[in-house]
Amino acid sequence: MDGNGRWAKTRNLPRIEGHRQGTKSVEAVIRAAREIGVEYLTLYAFSVENWQRPTLEVRGLMALLMETLKRYAKELADNQIALRAIGRLADLPEKVRAQINITEAKTAANAKMTLLLALSYGGRVELIEGVRALARRVRAGELAPADIDEAAVSGALYTVGAPDPDLLIRTSGEMRLSNFLPWQTIYTEWYVTPTLWPDFRREDFFAAVSEYNRRERRFGGV
């Protein structure tokens, strides 16, 4: 979800107003995805690198996250959507973590869609933590090095149990992965749109899905 700052800048608004407007796109995209039967939707809300932003912006984003989680908890519950946060959650402020725990617990049994919210997420740190976990199992004698296969690595990541993404949508025209799900996206179809995230709504999401449906996926075959 990129382009909030630029959206605000072109309107001479503070960056946080771009983020606020972006939460409306979050709502629109969750609804649209749920409507067409998407089973897993991952939103990259805050990266490990984003902690480098000015304190005021980080605080504003955390406050917005709290507000949004509180506001949408009921809608998630009513629509059979389970929330699951992925990332270095221990980095988050205690209040935010508590709100996440509440919403996760409330929605855990929901089976129509899983909303993975990437918070303080970084693909490399995810791999490092996963590798450490596997190493501990090897040391404990529970796992032989030769048994470390793709499934074992996938199972040691924050995304354990979730399928690899079919489609990755990147807004604001940037052509880079930015540390997002590097292990999981090796054969994911990319859709890059110049539209800034706060302007990305229902119809834009459907346009991305339509384009995806026209792609031919060969996974390295013929």
Q: Which residues are catalytic?
A: 2, 50
Query: Which region among 1-9, 26-34, 183-191, 194-202 touches Mg ion (by CB under 5 A)?
Result: 1-9
Using CB under 6 A as the binding rule, whether residue 5 contacts ligand IPE is answered as: yes
Query: Which region among 2-10, 93-101, 113-121, 153-161 touches ligand IPE (by CB under 6 A)?
Result: 2-10
| b (16+ CB within 10 A) / e for 190-220 | ebebebbbbbbbeebbeebbeebeeeeeeee
Using CB under 6 A as the binding rule, whether residue 126 contacts ligand IPE is answered as: no
Cα–Cα nearest to 209, from 38, 31, 24, 4: 38
Considering only residues 2-31, where is the footprint of Mg ion by CB under 5 A? 2
At closest approach, how far in Å is the CB of 11 from ligand IPE?
A: 12
Using CB under 6 A as the binding rule, whether residue 20 contacts ligand IPE is answered as: no
Query: Which region among 3-11, 81-89, 93-101, 201-209 touches ligand IPE (by CB under 6 A)?
Result: 3-11
Cα–Cα distance measured from residue 212 to residue 165, given in angstroms and rounded to the nearest whole number: 12
At closest approach, how far in Å is the CB of 2 from Mg ion?
A: 4
Chain centroid to Cα 166, Å, comes to 14
**Residue 4 interacting entry, from Mg ion, ligand IPE, none, C-beta within 5 to 8 Å by type:** ligand IPE
Q: Take residue 145 and report the two structure tokens written for it.
A: 């090095």
- When CB distances to ligand IPE are compared, the closest residue is 5
Residue 132: CA atoms inside 13 Å, Cβ hemisphere, count? 7
2 vs 126 by CB, closer to Mg ion:
2
| b (16+ CB within 10 A) / e for 44-74 | bbbbbebeebeeeeeebbbebbbebbeebbe
